[in-house]
């Protein structure tokens, strides 16, 4: 099988250095439609280290989900054009054949989605669906697959797995279904798990359980996690690094604490400011004026400038993702002169401060 072949190391200069598990460079997705070609994302650059937990945040339409899908090459080739490279452990996923990708998906990179019910097949037992991944990729015997499935169900915290393994998806609750999805995605021991809004459909008490599980499993098995979400709270609780996207571009890339305490991009700061957690109770909530530009009509230069209170002459020039030191990157040429408020400043007058500091 292709996955068992030695990785094509050294065939190209691997971006991101030897410490990166995955290096994405210049990734862009073009959708071909009857109205012409639409550039959905462009110039996406980021690295993920082995075992690292990275959050990709942004609002709907910013391109975070299709970036996740494009890494696994799940976008249809005839409709979506792919630019740039995705170096994963020595292999460029962007130039892999369909066959090579099939050996990678589920085994070395796995993905879970928002709605576990639509990801699970209602006519097969959950045990069958978890074991399927294992049997396709490793060819273990039926008995061994069942043994390892039971073990995996135990690890994701499902009570009495011997009974649950033969249940159908409809017999499980929403939280248990997402646990089953996590079991299926991790059973082959992938190096990277892409989770696209894995807790958005779940209740807050169940969400806390699932996020804790993802964090623990990622730590104990050294699986890198790429967590796609719109919820800055989820990223703060789960990840160590946060990549913010806006209108199809990466606009900030920093350690979570750094980005929350001192955001460098006006959009990141504006997002933090608009959260009700960080505003005085009953006060007027700050918002970002205007709307995300349409994919059909992207402005030149900085894509946020029409909504940005710090925009000046010069923002209409193309913006590069600049190195801001300490492993931080930002797509704003004014980042050195701007002193933008972060969560601490916003929270100073907010109820959340009282909640956190209460004994």
Partner 1 sequence: MTPQAADNAIVSVRDLQVGFQTTDRRAVVKAVDGVSFDVRRGETFGIIGESGSGKTTIGRALVFLLKPSGGAILHNGIDPLAMPRQQFQSHRRDYQIIFQDPNAALNPRMTILSSVLEPLELARAGSKAERLQRAHEAMDRVGLPLDLGERYPHQLSGGQKQRVVIARALTLRPKMIVCDEVVAALDMSIRGDVLNLFAELQRDLGLTYVFITHDLAVVSHISERIAVMYLGRFVELGPTEKVSERPLHPYTQALLSAEPRPLPSTMRGNNRIVLQGEIPSPIDPPSGCRFRTRCQYAQAVCAEKTPDWRELMPDHWVACHFADRPNFSPN
Binding flag, residue 163, partner 1 (CB under 8 A): no
Sign of CA dihedral 95, 101, 106, 107: negative
33's CB contacts (< 8 A; 6+ apart) are none
Q: Helix (H, G, I), strand (E, B), or coil: what is residue 231?
A: coil
Buried b or exposed e, range 251-271, using 16+ CB within 10 angstroms: bbbbebebbbebbbbbbbbbb
From candidates 69, 86, 260, 332, binder to partner 1 by CB under 8 A: 260
Binding flag, residue 344, partner 1 (CB under 8 A): yes
| Closer residue to partner 1 in complex, CB, 227/332 | 227
Binding flag, residue 209, partner 1 (CB under 8 A): yes
Applying CB under 8 A, the span of 27-35, 102-110, 129-137, 235-243 interacting with partner 1 comes to 235-243
Binding flag, residue 138, partner 1 (CB under 8 A): no
Binding flag, residue 296, partner 1 (CB under 8 A): no
Give the strands of the sheet with 249-255, arranged side by side.
Answer: 109-112, 192-196, 224-229, 53-57, 241-246, 249-255, 328-330, 322-325
Binding flag, residue 175, partner 1 (CB under 8 A): yes
Do the Cβ atoms of 321 and 243 come closer than 8 Å? no
Smallest gap from Cβ 111 to partner 1, in A, equals: 21
The rounded distance, in Å, linking the Cα atoms of 165 and 153 is 8
The rounded distance, in Å, linking the Cα atoms of 51 and 226 is 10
What torsion do the CA atoms of 26, 32, 37, 39 make, to the nearest 10 degrees?
Answer: -30
Q: Helix (H, G, I), strand (E, B), or coil: what is residue 192?
A: strand
Smallest gap from Cβ 123 to partner 1, in A, equals: 21
Q: Which residues are registered as beta bridge partners of 39?
A: 30
From candidates 55, 116, 248, 270, binder to partner 1 by CB under 8 A: 270
Binding flag, residue 274, partner 1 (CB under 8 A): yes
The rounded distance, in Å, linking the Cα atoms of 201 and 176 is 12
Binding flag, residue 171, partner 1 (CB under 8 A): no
From candidates 232, 250, 251, 330, binder to partner 1 by CB under 8 A: 232
Smallest gap from Cβ 96 to partner 1, in A, equals: 34
CA atoms within 13 A on the CB side of 259: 31
Binding flag, residue 234, partner 1 (CB under 8 A): yes
From candidates 211, 227, 247, 251, binder to partner 1 by CB under 8 A: 211
| Closer residue to partner 1 in complex, CB, 320/355 | 355
Binding flag, residue 231, partner 1 (CB under 8 A): yes
Binding flag, residue 203, partner 1 (CB under 8 A): yes
Beta strands in the chain (DSSP E): 22-33, 36-48, 53-57, 80-88, 91-92, 109-112, 192-196, 224-229, 241-246, 249-255, 322-325, 328-330
Smallest gap from Cβ 110 to partner 1, in A, equals: 23
From candidates 34, 99, 282, 297, binder to partner 1 by CB under 8 A: 282
Binding flag, residue 59, partner 1 (CB under 8 A): yes
Binding site for partner 1 (CB under 8 A): 59-60, 173-176, 203-209, 211-212, 230-238, 256-257, 260-261, 270-272, 274-279, 281-282, 284-288, 291, 343-344, 347, 351-352, 354-356, 358-359
């Amino acid at each position: 099988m292709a996955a068992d072949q030695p990785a094509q190391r050294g065939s190209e200069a691997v971006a991101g250095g030897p410490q990166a598990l995955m290096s994405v460079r210049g990734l862009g997705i073009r959708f071909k439609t009857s109205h012409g070609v639409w550039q959905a994302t462009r110039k996406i650059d980021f690295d993920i280290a082995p075992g690292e937990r990275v959050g990709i945040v942004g609002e709907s339409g910013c391109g975070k989900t299709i970036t996740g899908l494009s890494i696994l090459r799940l976008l249809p080739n005839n409709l979506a054009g792919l630019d740039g490279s995705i170096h994963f452990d020595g292999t460029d996923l962007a130039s892999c054949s369909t066959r090579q990708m099939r050996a990678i998906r589920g085994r070395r990179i796995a993905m879970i989605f928002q709605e576990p019910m639509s990801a699970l097949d209602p006519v097969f037992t959950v045990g069958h669906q978890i074991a399927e991944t294992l049997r396709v990729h490793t060819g273990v015997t039926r008995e061994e697959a069942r043994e390892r499935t039971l073990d995996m169900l135990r690890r994701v915290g499902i009570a009495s797995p011997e009974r649950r393994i033969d249940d159908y998806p409809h017999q499980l609750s929403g939280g248990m279904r997402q646990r089953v999805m996590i079991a299926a995605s991790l059973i082959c021991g992938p190096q990277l798990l892409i989770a696209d809004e894995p807790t958005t459909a779940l209740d807050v008490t169940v969400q806390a359980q699932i996020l804790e599980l993802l964090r623990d499993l990622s730590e104990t098995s050294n699986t890198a996690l790429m967590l796609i979400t719109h919820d800055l709270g989820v990223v703060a609780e789960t990840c160590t690094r946060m990549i913010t996207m806006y209108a199809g571009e990466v606009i900030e890339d920093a350690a979570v604490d750094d980005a929350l305490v001192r955001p460098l991009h006006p959009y990141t700061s504006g997002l933090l400011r608009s959260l009700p957690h960080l505003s005085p109770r009953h006060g007027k909530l700050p918002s970002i004026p205007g709307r995300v530009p349409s994919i059909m009509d992207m402005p030149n230069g900085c894509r946020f400038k029409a909504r940005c209170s710090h925009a000046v002459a010069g923002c209409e020039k193309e913006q590069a993702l600049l190195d801001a030191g300490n492993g931080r990157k930002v797509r704003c040429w004014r980042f050195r002169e701007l002193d933008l408020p972060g969560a601490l400043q916003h929270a100073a007058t907010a109820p959340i401060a009282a909640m956190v500091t209460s004994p």
